[in-house]
Amino acid sequence: MSIQVLQNYAEGKWVNAAASGETLYNAINGDPIYTASSEGLDFGSMMEYARKVGSPALRKLSFQQRGLMLKALAMYLNDRKDYFYTISALTGATKADSWVDIEGGIGNLFTYASMRRQFPDASFYVDGEAAKLSKENTFIGHHIMVPKEGVAIHINAFNFPVWGMLEKIAVNLFAGVPAIVKPATATSFLTEVVFKEIIASNILPEGALQLICGSARGILDYVESQDVVTFTGSAETGKKLKAHPRLIEEAVPFNMEADSLNACVLGLDVVPGSATFDIFIKEVVREMTTKAGQKCTAIRRVIVPANVLEEVHIALGKRLASTIIGDPSVEGVRMGPLAGQAQREEVREKVAQLAKVQSIIVGSLDQFEVKGADKNKGAFFAPIVFLNEQPFQNIACHDIEAFGPVTTLMPYSTNDEAIQLVKMGKGSLVCSIITEDNEIAKEFVLGAATMHGRILILNAECAKESTGHGSPMPQLVHGGPGRAGGGEEMGGKRGVLHYLHRTAIQGSPTMITAVTNVYQQGALQKETDIHPFKKHFEDLEIGETLVTAKHTITDADIVNFANVSGDHFYAHVDVTSLDGTIFEGRVAHGYYILSKAAGMFVDAKKGPVLLNYGIDECRFTKPVYPGTTIGVKLTVKEKIGQEKKSAEDIAKGIVKWLVEVYDQTNETVAIITILTMVKMKQQ
């Protein structure tokens, strides 16, 4: 393969880099394959381009439109993934390693595309509930969250060239913020291949993404207060970037996800030879050998009960001995090389430091076989297990991380000792405990939680479907305290909020309704002559209200509902059992009030309303006794359009309705938010 020059993508065009840039190598045979440089790029101009072109284009889209944009991009990349696998092999990744990187990254796009169902059909987000700020409710407060007007700068690590990019841009693009992606140069050739397909798709608006394959030194000099910087990599580098004067001066959010000394604990209840013990051994070995241990979540410390230390040693040794190292394209190879010679030398240095205070009991720096390749030309490294019999005294394993297939085995005697040991890592992305004992798990989780971003409790019940110790999921936060950087990314909706600015707004309920597009209680209501169930989705207005006729509750209503529903709770049917309760007499079922309210506001004839979609909130705020007269106000609270899943699908949207049930004194007895699916006129 001839040496190719990687391109950068800046200000809407591909920019040819200097041929004299940094040389990148094939991790398997050491051959030079690419060069990368950022010479000639104007970082300040790139930042301005993102702010002035990308930001307005993304901000004007609704969450629904951004979600569909991500879905289209995920499908586009998924159709082209075979070529990505070919390039990924040059990084030393096996097919399984590449699957995590490539399809895991695309999966993040799909996940955040589906997140649109949790957001409004608007370009901004209404956060939480309204705050009542006055006695008569004529003055209220609320919070809205709008996309920041800056750019996200993503500085990524070398170990996941695809996932590292896609898991981050999925979040900022969905939030409505453009990004400049800076992959680690060593493996940026794989990022560039995927990025080229993203641009070729023409799915994203102009200015949404830019790429720097070479050095980005100096880019932080141009950040402003609306920007966001994310970093994944070593804690040492992260701390230097975090202290950049410009970040401090402009108060720029800096999210750091640093490598950490993650741990796996074998519970005191687990017996050697059991299925749970086998799960533990399999999990440790998998996390040591996946990506050749080059994972920020890899298990660096294996903490086991002192009485099974030898059995764990033997079991790990046997399983690791069967791991075939070599060229990932060769049949039977289960672990490829490290990402490059520089990484190999760095890991060797860290192993040498650890070896000063603890002993290697599995593996060797030099004595190992490689299949289908020359181990000296490639960046191959055998799995190594250290033994530290005094982990409270010899603490190097809690401070030094060898970023490869290296871990330290250590003993503990009590659950409290296990908790102390995992916390000695001074902050980790993840730890796991393998146990079948609920009490052991609970005590461990509550004791270890403050120093971990995620804790996996693994046993036979969930092992088959578990995604494992080392797999951050887009629905859950990924990050950790202390050494792990103190940041968070992904986490479903939580991740999106990092790219939004929260603003408190105050005013009348009517004005806050107008701003938020969500009806606020007490706002002006609009009555029309046409029943709202006869209107199509487009014709319904926020605040449009139906005021129903009234109904007086009778004893017969309550008895009949009890017989129909089967709900014979004493407060509804036995007036002799009410002493010592809050009730003055027989009380109507809350669900009868809800059902009766529906009967009062529903229009029975066929119309645009397709179905009842569910209930978001329901509160019964005042007892309803026989003789009480109730009425209902049905108000359009919020509207969320839905996309058509096929040409034959019906165009429709979800309408949220505020249902207020009140009595003859005008007091609210029940308040409910219901959802209906409503047909659109335009098909």
Please say if 296 is a catalytic residue.
yes
Catalytic pick among 167, 257, 401, 489: 257
Dist. CA 401–CA 413, nearest whole Å = 24
Question: In whole angstroms, what is the distance from residue 487 CA to residue 257 CA?
Answer: 6
C-alpha to C-alpha distance for 285 and 278, rounded to whole angstroms = 11
| Cα–Cα distance, 600 to 659 (Å, whole number) | 11
Structure tokens given for 622: 């005042």
Smallest CA-to-CA distance from 195 within 164, 165, 216, 154 is with 165
- Cβ atoms within 10 Å of 342's Cβ, excluding its own: 13
Q: Which residues pair with 85 in a beta bridge?
A: none
Our answer to whether residue 257 is catalytic in this structure is: yes
Q: How far apart are the first and last CA of the chain?
A: 53
CA distance 69 to 71: 5
Return d(Cα 491, Cα 497) in angstroms, integer. 10
For 122, phi then psi, to 5°, come to -150, 170
**Phi (first) and psi of residue 303, to 5 degrees:** -115, 115
586: its two tokens: 């027989």
Write a three-state SS string for 522-588. CCCCEECCCCHHHCCHHHCCCCEEEECCCEECCHHHHHHHHHHHCCCCHHHHCHHHCCCCCCCCCCC
**Size of the chain, expressed as the number of residues it contains:** 683
Q: Check 296, 397, 436, 489 and give the catalytic one.
A: 296
Check the CA dihedral 667-673-677-678 and report its sign. positive
Active-site amino acid positions: 257, 296
